[in-house]
Structure 1
Amino acid sequence: MAYIGLINLALIVVNIVMSYKGLKDHSFFDRYSFQVDNILVYKDYKRLVTSGFLHVSWIHLLFNMFALYAFSTSLELRMGPSSFLTLYFASLVGGNLLSLLIHRNHGDYSAVGASGAVCGIIFASIALFPGMRIGFFGLPFSIPAWIYGLLYVLYSIYGIRSKKDNIGHEAHLGGALIGMLVAVCIVPEAIRENYPTILSILFPGALAVYLIITRPQLLLVDNQYFKTHIGDYDIDDRYNLGRMDRQQEIDFLLEKIHKKGIKSLTKKERDTLEKYSQSV
């Protein structure tokens, strides 16, 4: 049993290393972050995973890693290392896929962070441990996990619709729901032990996702985010525009190499040329 917790610790280490590199190197951050156009137009699907190991600040990283550590030990023990790892990545990708669905016509939308995966871990814990209670920093009381889960889902739905902050509510909601679903698939007896909690969270969450898919106009609210947000055009338009811009940039770089040699390229220009060559 000595291996219990190693997967959790390994994930924390990878998050710290990747985030450190991203905070120090903007080109590295840009290469692996979640960016709608790079995923949909240029088919750079690795970003659905790599973006979950980057963070915008040390505080952002600290909060996510603390939550991951706090909720993971018992969960990894209950599920086993391989199932726990499956849960983590399924929540991460599931959260990003919901973000991609909602923002598919917002070509400039970008995001990073392990929050989707961490939400999956938290909600899997809520599903598997019926008596679980959740406390908050500085407060002398805790609340039943099912109340926290339901309030969090409702808050995420509100956040997706209102867009009054810079939080990736879509990834949080998607990660939470996928995490709970994966957990009950791996440990099916949890449904019998804790079905009121599971249903009270999954039902409104699944309903919200259904409405997002079938009634996307419900997300169109008149606020500053939608007034200023650019890139609201379909993928074919973005592909054609992106292809034109890319070809012009490649032509410029090749002309510069022809006239002054490859050493005349800046680091950013070399990275750009390498990126385009890999996407061909």
Structure 2
Amino acid sequence: MGDLSLVTIIIIALNVIVSFKGFNDPVFFNKYKFNTGDIRRGAKYQILTSGFLHVDTTHLFVNMLTLYFFANVVLFDLGAIGFVVVYLASLILGNLLSYFFHKDETSYNAVGASGAVMGILYSAILLRPDMMLGLFFIIPIPAYVFGIGYLLYTIYGMKRRADNIGHDAHFGGAVGGYILTLALAPWIIQHHLLMVILLAIPIVILFVLQKLGKI
């Protein structure tokens, strides 16, 4: 957390501008949101554009606030280009995972920067696994414990499908942040090998459950 960098300001501004356009223009919103049926018919651009739309101002605020909290950690170690690569790759991977799990549900819709933001969050956790996060903004817990717990909860949410949260996009975004950060900062493997292994466990669990047809 700290002063906003130019790249963070630009990303937040894009999210705000596109989201408010969507709030006031249903045609624009429906054209650029993630819809499995549209994507199957050729609207592949929705995999990217939907990540800059939001349902409402609360949805937008929560995502941008989370981005603000963790952006500087990633920027400090990966630089502006690395930050943008992690952000966009996590957004795309999150939506690709959503498409994989919902490809036969032609009416499935989704919007939001959550996948991209989760990628930045998990990148920050890998880079600073010893930092403390506030669970419910009150209870301090180590970042890696939060990371593992949240991914396990996300798997549960993907299996249960009992809410309107895009758990698949969250998980895919987190995996994007995990993979891209290790690729851009391989020194993490040497310095935080145990954390790298621990954070990989939920990813392996999801892979196994999908192969077994349990999710």
If the length of structure 2 is used for normalisation, what is the TM-score?
Answer: 0.95
- The residue that corresponds to 1:70 in the other structure is 69
1:203-226 superposed Cα distances (whole Å, 9 cap, x missing partner): 2213303432x233x23xxxxxxx
- The residue that corresponds to 1:266 in the other structure is none
1:175-194 map, 5 Å: 175-194=173-192
**Unaligned regions of 5+ residues in structure 2, if any?**
none
Q: Is the 8 A contact 1:98 1:171 kept in 2?
A: yes
Q: Is the 8 A contact 2:129 2:142 kept in 1?
A: no
Which amino acid in 2 is paired with 1:68? L
Q: Is the 8 A contact 1:5 1:77 kept in 2?
A: no
1:121-132 map, 5 Å: 121-132=120-131
3-state SS of the aligned residue for 1:191? helix
State the Cα distance separating 1:79 from its structure 2 match. 0.5
Q: Is the 8 A contact 1:87 1:121 kept in 2?
A: yes
Give RMSD over aligned pairs.
1.5
Which amino acid in 1 is paired with 2:107? D
Q: Is the 8 A contact 1:99 1:170 kept in 2?
A: yes
- The residue that corresponds to 1:21 in the other structure is 21
Percent identity reads 38
1:70-105 superposed Cα distances (whole Å, 9 cap, x missing partner): 100121121111111000000000000000000011
3-state SS of the aligned residue for 2:133? strand
State the Cα distance separating 1:28 from its structure 2 match. 0.4
- The residue that corresponds to 1:215 in the other structure is 212
- The residue that corresponds to 2:202 in the other structure is 204
- The residue that corresponds to 2:107 in the other structure is 108
3-state SS of the aligned residue for 2:141? strand
Which amino acid in 1 is paired with 2:14? V
State the Cα distance separating 1:137 from its structure 2 match. 4.5
Q: Is the 8 A contact 1:130 1:193 kept in 2?
A: no
Which amino acid in 1 is paired with 2:13? V
- The residue that corresponds to 1:134 in the other structure is 133
1:163-185 superposed Cα distances (whole Å, 9 cap, x missing partner): 11110000000100110110011
1:218-273 superposed Cα distances (whole Å, 9 cap, x missing partner): 23xxxxxxxxxxxxxxxxxxxxxxxxxxxxxxxxxxxxxxxxxxxxxxxxxxxxxx
Which amino acid in 2 is paired with 1:157? I
CA distance, structure 1, for counterparts of residue 129 and residue 144 of structure 2:
9
Q: Which runs of 4+ in 1 moved over 4 A?
A: none
CA distance, structure 2, for counterparts of residue 65 and residue 171 of structure 1:
16
CA distance, structure 1, for counterparts of residue 109 and residue 204 of structure 2:
24
Aligned length: 213
Larger Rg: 1 or 2? 1
1:160-179 map, 5 Å: 160-179=158-177
